[in-house]
C-alpha cells in the first residue's frame, strides 16, 4: 500500500467528514442570516457512501476522523454512522465538532457508539451576545451539552471559541478563567475568510496574540505543551494549577500548513485537499469501486497545494489561485 503523502512530503492520516450543510444556528462568521441554500437530502452522501469513502481511506492510512457539518446532530441517526465508522479496521479515533444545542440528550449514546472526543463551539458566555453571534437563542442548552459531554466521559472536552474583534474580545479573560476552573480545553480560533467574497471579515478579524497578552496580564504561569490528544494545528498552553488548558489556532497570523495532515469530505460528496482553495474532487463517481476511491485519494494528494493565502488576503494582496466560494458550513471547518 502506498501511503497518502502529498508533493510536499506531508503524510495524511486525518479525514474530516461533513455529514450535512444544514444548521439550526446562523453564526455570523459562518452562514448568511437568511437565504442560505442547502443540499437536498437525496444528494447528500448516505451513510453507506461515507462508509465506503472511509474504508478506502483507512486502507491508505487514514486513522483519525472528525464528524462535522453544518450541525452534525441535525442529521438523523448520527450514532449509527459513528458506530459503523468505529468498526472500520484502521480507524483509531473519532471526534465530532458540534454547536452543542442537541448534545445533552445524545452525549451518552454517541460515547457508547464509539465517539472518542468532542469539540463544542461557544464564542461567548453571555446569553444576549450569543443571540447576536449565533443569531439564535440556546446558550443554556449548549452549557447543558458541555455538562453532559463531561458526564459521558469525553476527555478532554474542548470548547471552540472564534475570536471576533469588537464582539467577544472582552471575554478572553472569562474563557481563560473557565479553563482554569474546569477540566475544559478552550481553543481560541482566528476568524478565517472562508466563503467571504468581500473583505467584510476584516472588520472582526483579530490576531490571537491578544490571548497571550491577556493570559500574561492576568498573571497565569504558562507552559507550552504539545500533549493534548488530537491537538492538530493547535498551539497548547498549560496554566499552573489549572483544571483545564487552552490552545490557539491561528491560521492567518501564523500559518501552519507545513504540518497539514488532513483531507475534507463535504456532505454533497466532494473531497477537498485544502480548506481554502476552490479545488475539489467528486467522490460520487468513484463510489462503485474501492480501487477508484483509492485513486481519488491519491489524486487529492497530487493536487494538494502547499499553503493557503489567508494572510495575503488580510494584507489586500492578490491571490495566486481561486479561493473556494463555499461557506464554512458547507465544508465543516
Contacts to ligand SAM by CB under 6 A: 23, 29-30, 68-69, 71, 97-99, 121, 160, 162, 189, 191-192, 194, 328-329, 332-333
- C-alpha cell read off for 137: 437563542
Q: Which of 193, 191, 192, 188 is nearest to 176 (CA)?
A: 188
Q: Which of 6, 71, 106, 309 binds ligand SF4 (CB under 6 A)?
A: 71
Q: Which does 20 bind (CB under 5 to 8 A by kind): ligand SAM, ligand SF4, none?
A: none
Q: Which of 17, 19, 27, 178 binds ligand SF4 (CB under 6 A)?
A: 27
Q: How far is the CB of 13 from ligand SF4 (least distance, A)?
A: 25
Q: Which does 252 bind (CB under 5 to 8 A by kind): ligand SAM, ligand SF4, none?
A: none
Q: Which of 282, 284, 286, 280 is nearest to 263 (CA)?
A: 280
Instruction: Label the pairing between strands 270-272 and 281-282.
Output: antiparallel
Q: Which of 6, 13, 56, 70 binds ligand SF4 (CB under 6 A)?
A: 70
Using the CB atoms, write b or e for 185-196: b if 16+ within 10 Å: bbbbbbbbbbbb
Q: Which of residues 39-58 bind ligand SF4 (CB under 6 A)?
A: none
Q: Counting contacts by CB under 6 A, is residue 19 touching ligand SF4? A: no
Spatial separation of the C-alpha atoms in residues 30 and 69, rounded to whole Å = 11
The kind and range of the H/E element at 187 are strand 184-190
Size of residue set near ligand SF4 by CB under 6 A: 13
Region binding ligand SF4 by CB under 6 A among candidate stretches 69-77, 111-119, 209-217, 246-254: 69-77
Name the closest residue to ligand SAM (Cβ). 333
Other beta carbons within 10 angstroms of residue 294's beta carbon come to 19
CA-to-CA separations, 99 to 177, 214, 222, 264, in angstroms, rounded: 21, 26, 29, 19
Query: What is the sign of the dihedral through the CA atoms of 142, 18, 162 and 22?
Result: negative
Q: Which does 145 bind (CB under 5 to 8 A by kind): ligand SAM, ligand SF4, none?
A: none
Q: Which of residues 75-134 bind ligand SF4 (CB under 6 A)?
A: 99, 121
The kind and range of the H/E element at 311 are helix 310-314
Q: How far is the CB of 11 from ligand SF4 (least distance, A)?
A: 29
Instruction: Name the residue nearer to ligand SAM (CB basis): 104 or 189.
Output: 189
Q: Counting contacts by CB under 6 A, is residue 69 touching ligand SF4? A: yes
Strand partners, 159: 120, 186
Q: Counting contacts by CB under 6 A, is residue 296 touching ligand SF4? A: no
Q: Which residues bind ligand SF4 (CB under 6 A)?
A: 23, 25-27, 30-31, 69-71, 99, 121, 328-329
Amino acid at each position: 500500500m502506498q501511503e497518502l503523502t502529498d508533493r510536499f512530503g506531508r503524510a495524511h492520516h486525518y479525514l474530516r467528514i461533513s455529514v450535512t450543510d444544514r444548521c439550526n444556528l446562523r453564526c455570523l462568521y459562518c452562514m448568511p442570516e437568511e437565504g442560505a441554500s442547502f443540499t437536498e437530502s437525496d444528494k447528500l452522501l448516505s451513510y453507506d457512501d461515507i462508509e465506503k469513502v472511509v474504508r478506502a481511506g483507512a486502507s491508505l492510512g487514514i486513522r483519525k476522523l472528525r464528524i462535522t457539518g453544518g450541525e452534525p446532530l441535525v442529521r438523523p441517526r448520527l450514532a449509527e454512522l459513528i458506530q459503523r465508522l468505529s468498526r472500520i479496521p484502521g480507524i483509531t479515533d473519532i471526534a465530532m465538532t458540534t454547536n452543542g444545542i442537541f448534545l445533552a440528550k445524545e452525549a451518552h449514546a454517541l460515547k457508547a457508539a464509539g465517539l472518542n472526543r468532542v469539540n463544542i463551539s461557544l464564542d461567548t458566555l453571555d446569553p444576549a451576545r450569543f443571540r447576536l453571534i449565533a443569531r439564535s437563542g440556546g446558550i443554556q442548552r449548549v452549557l447543558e451539552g458541555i455538562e453532559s459531554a463531561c458526564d459521558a466521559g469525553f476527555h478532554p472536552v474542548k470548547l471552540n471559541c472564534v475570536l471576533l474583534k469588537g464582539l467577544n474580545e472582552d471575554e478572553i479573560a472569562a474563557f481563560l478563567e473557565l479553563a482554569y476552573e474546569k477540566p475544559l480545553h478552550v481553543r481560541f480560533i482566528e476568524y478565517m475568510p472562508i466563503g467571504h467574497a468581500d473583505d467584510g471579515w476584516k472588520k472582526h478579524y483579530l490576531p490571537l496574540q491578544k490571548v497571550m497578552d491577556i493570559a500574561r496580564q492576568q498573571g497565569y504561569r504558562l507552559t507550552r505543551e504539545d500533549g493534548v490528544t488530537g491537538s492538530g494545528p493547535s498551539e497548547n498552553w498549560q496554566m499552573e494549577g489549572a483544571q483545564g488548558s487552552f490552545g490557539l489556532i491561528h491560521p492567518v497570523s501564523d500559518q501552519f500548513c507545513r504540518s497539514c495532515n488532513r483531507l475534507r469530505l463535504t456532505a454533497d460528496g466532494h473531497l477537498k485537499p485544502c480548506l481554502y482553495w476552490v479545488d475539489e474532487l467528486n467522490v460520487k463517481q468513484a463510489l462503485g469501486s474501492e480501487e477508484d476511491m483509492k485513486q481519488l485519494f491519491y489524486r487529492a494528494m497530487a493536487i494538494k497545494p502547499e499553503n493557503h493565502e489567508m494572510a495575503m488576503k488580510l494584507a489586500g494582496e492578490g491571490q495566486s489561485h481561486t479561493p473556494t466560494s463555499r461557506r464554512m458550513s458547507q465544508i465543516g471547518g
